[in-house]
Amino acid sequence: MAPGEKTHENSQTLLVKSCELNPFAREPHVVLAQIYISFPRKYEEGEKEAESALNLMLEWGTNWEKRMSWEGWIAWTRVLVMKAKEKSWPHTSWGILNLGLL
């Protein structure tokens, strides 16, 4: 098992449960999409979760998690959808920082 793999599995399990228990919460879908895309490279699952989150955010017109603006959540979720469709994710911290330049 690679370093961090167990942590990602635990986080993934908790986020799936959170999405089941809170079907209208958008942000858990975003974080779950990021985990799917970035670590196990489950691009299809990541795309599904990101699109679900994006649809919920656009329907509600607001974010539940207020530490980042609604526009920030929308922008990041769109990046996740794009990268899932491309089936690519940066391998370095610099590459992840560059995602914000899109």
pLDDT of res. 1: 53
Nearest to 77, CA basis, from 44, 42, 51, 39: 51
Buried-state track 49-62, b at ≥16 Cβ within 10 A, e below 16: bbbbbbebbeeeee
27-38 vs 5-21: helix crossing angle, rounded to 10: 150
Domain assignments of the chain as residue spans, ordered by start: 5-99
- In words, the CATH class of domain 5-99 is mainly alpha
CA distance 37 to 47: 8
Q: What is the pLDDT along the chain (102 residues), one digit of tens a residue?
A: 565 667 778 999 999 999 999 989 999 999 999 999 998 789 999 999 999 999 999 999 999 899 999 999 999 999 999 999 999 999 898 998 888 775
Task: Give the three-class secondary structure for 13.
Answer: helix
Sorted by sequence, the CB contacts under 8 Å of residue 25 that are 6+ apart come out as 18, 19, 64
